[in-house]
Structure 1
Amino acid sequence: MSKKEQLQNILNQLKSALPELREVIVASADGLPIAQLGEGETSSRVAAMAATAHGLGKRIATTSHLGEPMETVIIGSQASFIAYAIGDKAVLALTMPAGSNIGLVRLEAQDAAQQLAQVL
């Protein structure tokens, strides 16, 4: 199985566990989409924003002596966005509607990020 197929399988499993997810994207640290669910028009922008958010989170963590950043979370009134580090080379970005079970999302997404890191 190719790397692309392995990545897609992991994203499909994540979406099956969390059907409320709106977007699921794996982006490079440079902000380029690597894999995603669906073919949204905004995938390039979301990938770029995910990499930027994670980069800023990393800078804040370093400056504040927080250790390695594991996730960047933005909770809005209508939806939430979480970006997870996949090693130093990529980011897993998720968007979900407001009221989603963030604890369950974290459990499933952290596991998916670890699996993605093994593939990448």
Structure 2
Amino acid sequence: MSVAQHQASKSMELQRIISAMHRAIPELHGVMIASVDGLAVAHDFPDAEAERVAAMSATALGLGKRITERTNLGGLAEAVIRGDNGYLVVYAAGQDAVLVLSGPIDSNLGLMRLEARVAAVDIKQILGQA
């Protein structure tokens, strides 16, 4: 398998994870897998906002990790941002990736947590960090 075919295969697998998240939680506005450097890897956000969401989510993950470390809370499980109109929830997916879920204010956060844990493991495996 060539490098290009391998990358295309990874991209398709990541898109399958995004689709599975929407099947499990249909009310989600968007799902993104981004690098910890703030670059969108795979997503279904509108293209105009994808890079901005990726950058802010990577920043939220980094800041959340620092806060949990400095306050002796242990490893970061998630960073939840709640606004008047909904949630943006950020999870680490290995050392190099960020999983981002965006949903309405009535989102089921418990379901989001369950599905994100499974997806984060899958993302780690796909990106070769298992």
Gap regions ≥5 residues in structure 2: 1-5
Structure 1 stretches (4+) deviating beyond 4 angstroms? none
Aligned to 1:66: 73
User: Is contact 2:32-2:45 (8 Å) kept?
Assistant: no
Aligned to 1:52: 59
Distance 1:89 1:65 in 2: 23
Aligned to 1:10: 17
- Greater relative contact order (Cα 8 A, min sep 6): structure 1 or 2? 1
Which amino acid in structure 1 is aligned with residue 115 of structure 2? E
Distance 2:75 2:45 in 1: 30
Q: Which of 97, 106, 114 is residue 99 of structure 1 equivalent to?
A: 106
Give the CA RMSD over aligned residues. Answer: 1.2
Deviations 1:2-51 (A, max 9, x none): 11111111111111111111111111000000001254310000000000
Deviations 1:71-102 (A, max 9, x none): 10112221111000011101001110001111
The percentage of aligned residue pairs carrying the same residue is: 47
Structure 1 or 2: more helix by fraction: 2
Distance 2:11 2:125 in 1: 13
